[in-house]
Amino acid sequence: MSRPKIALVGGGQVGGNIALLSAQKELGDIVIIDIPEAENFMKGKALDISQLLPHDGYDSKLSGSSDFADLKGADVVVITAGFPRKPGMNREDLLQKNLSIMTNVAENVKKYAPDSFVIVVSNPLDAMVYAFYKVSGFSKNKVVGMAGALDSTRFRSFIAEATNLSSQDVNCMVLGGHGDTMVPVSRLATVGGVPLESLLDKETIKSIEDRTRFGGGEIVKLFGNGSAFYAPAQSAVEMVESFIRDKKRVIPCASLCDGEFGINGYFIGVPTVIGSQGVEKVLTFELNDDEKSALNNTLVEVQKTVEETGL
Order across the sheet with 190-191: list the strands: 170-171, 190-191, 194-195
Q: Is the peptide bond before 124 cis (omega within 30 degrees of 0)?
A: yes
Report the distance separating Cα 251 and Cα 282, nearest Å.
10
Give CA–CA dist 34/179, Å, rounded. Answer: 26
CA distances from 82 to 102, 125, 164, 226, 232 (A): 8, 11, 37, 12, 14
Active-site position among 18, 178, 182, 213: 178
DSSP codes, 184-238: E-GGG-EETTEEGGGTS-HHHHHHHHHHHHTHHHHHHHHHSSS---HHHHHHHHH
Rg (CA), the chain: 19
Does the annotation mark 178 as catalytic? yes
Backbone φ and ψ for 266, nearest 5 degrees, come out as -125, 150
Distance, in Å, from the CA atom of 211 to the CA atom of 217, rounded to the nearest integer, reads: 10
Q: Is residue 156 within 8 Å of residue 169, measured between CB atoms?
A: no
By annotation, the residues acting in catalysis are 178
